[in-house]
Amino acid sequence: MTKIELELKNAAGLHARPAALFVQKASGFASKITVQAGDKTADAKSILAIMSLGLGQGAKFTITADGSDETACVAALQALIESNFGEG
Protein backbone atom coordinates (compact mmCIF):
# COMPACT_ATOMS: atom_id res chain seq x y z
CA MET A 1 0.00 0.00 0.00
CA THR A 2 1.32 3.43 -0.97
CA LYS A 3 0.00 6.68 0.51
CA ILE A 4 0.71 10.34 -0.09
CA GLU A 5 -0.76 13.52 1.36
CA LEU A 6 -1.25 16.40 -1.08
CA GLU A 7 -2.74 19.88 -1.21
CA LEU A 8 -4.71 21.38 -4.10
CA LYS A 9 -3.08 24.57 -5.34
CA ASN A 10 -5.17 25.31 -8.43
CA ALA A 11 -7.66 28.15 -8.01
CA ALA A 12 -10.83 26.20 -8.84
CA GLY A 13 -10.02 23.10 -6.81
CA LEU A 14 -11.23 19.73 -8.03
CA HIS A 15 -14.10 20.99 -10.19
CA ALA A 16 -15.43 19.10 -13.25
CA ARG A 17 -12.48 19.30 -15.66
CA PRO A 18 -9.71 18.53 -13.15
CA ALA A 19 -11.87 15.80 -11.58
CA ALA A 20 -12.33 14.22 -15.01
CA LEU A 21 -8.57 14.35 -15.65
CA PHE A 22 -7.89 12.85 -12.22
CA VAL A 23 -10.36 9.98 -12.73
CA GLN A 24 -9.07 9.35 -16.26
CA LYS A 25 -5.50 9.10 -14.96
CA ALA A 26 -6.52 6.88 -12.00
CA SER A 27 -8.53 4.58 -14.27
CA GLY A 28 -5.37 3.76 -16.22
CA PHE A 29 -4.00 1.80 -13.28
CA ALA A 30 -4.92 -1.63 -11.96
CA SER A 31 -4.52 -0.64 -8.29
CA LYS A 32 -7.44 0.14 -6.00
CA ILE A 33 -7.16 3.89 -5.39
CA THR A 34 -8.98 5.95 -2.78
CA VAL A 35 -8.96 9.62 -1.90
CA GLN A 36 -9.59 10.66 1.68
CA ALA A 37 -10.34 14.18 2.84
CA GLY A 38 -11.37 14.58 6.45
CA ASP A 39 -13.93 11.90 7.24
CA LYS A 40 -14.91 11.36 3.57
CA THR A 41 -13.43 8.66 1.36
CA ALA A 42 -13.97 8.30 -2.38
CA ASP A 43 -13.09 5.81 -5.11
CA ALA A 44 -10.56 7.63 -7.30
CA LYS A 45 -11.98 5.99 -10.42
CA SER A 46 -15.46 7.47 -9.94
CA ILE A 47 -16.01 11.06 -11.04
CA LEU A 48 -19.16 11.42 -8.94
CA ALA A 49 -17.35 10.16 -5.86
CA ILE A 50 -14.40 12.52 -6.43
CA MET A 51 -16.62 15.55 -7.04
CA SER A 52 -18.70 14.72 -3.95
CA LEU A 53 -15.61 15.37 -1.81
CA GLY A 54 -15.97 19.07 -2.66
CA LEU A 55 -12.24 19.75 -2.62
CA GLY A 56 -11.38 23.39 -3.18
CA GLN A 57 -8.14 25.34 -3.36
CA GLY A 58 -5.97 24.62 -0.33
CA ALA A 59 -7.74 21.35 0.51
CA LYS A 60 -5.49 18.65 1.93
CA PHE A 61 -6.22 15.04 1.13
CA THR A 62 -4.61 11.61 1.05
CA ILE A 63 -4.33 9.30 -1.94
CA THR A 64 -3.94 5.61 -1.17
CA ALA A 65 -3.17 3.00 -3.81
CA ASP A 66 -3.02 -0.74 -3.29
CA GLY A 67 -2.01 -3.07 -6.09
CA SER A 68 0.68 -4.15 -8.51
CA ASP A 69 1.26 -0.65 -9.92
CA GLU A 70 0.62 1.40 -6.77
CA THR A 71 3.93 3.28 -6.78
CA ALA A 72 3.59 4.40 -10.41
CA CYS A 73 -0.05 5.25 -9.81
CA VAL A 74 0.61 7.53 -6.84
CA ALA A 75 3.51 9.20 -8.67
CA ALA A 76 1.34 9.89 -11.74
CA LEU A 77 -1.53 11.33 -9.69
CA GLN A 78 0.89 13.45 -7.66
CA ALA A 79 2.43 14.84 -10.87
CA LEU A 80 -1.03 15.66 -12.25
CA ILE A 81 -2.04 17.51 -9.08
CA GLU A 82 1.28 19.35 -8.73
CA SER A 83 1.00 20.49 -12.36
CA ASN A 84 -2.34 22.15 -11.39
CA PHE A 85 -4.06 19.95 -13.97
CA GLY A 86 -2.41 22.00 -16.73
CA GLU A 87 -4.23 25.16 -15.63
CA GLY A 88 -1.15 27.36 -15.57
Active site positions, annotated: 15
Please answer whether residues 63 and 14 qualify as being in contact, where contact means their C-beta atoms are separated by less than 8 angstroms.
Answer: no
Strand positions, DSSP E, 38-88? 40-43, 60-66
Query: Which residues are within 8 A (CB) of 38 and not within 5 positions of it... i.e. 6 or more apart?
Result: none
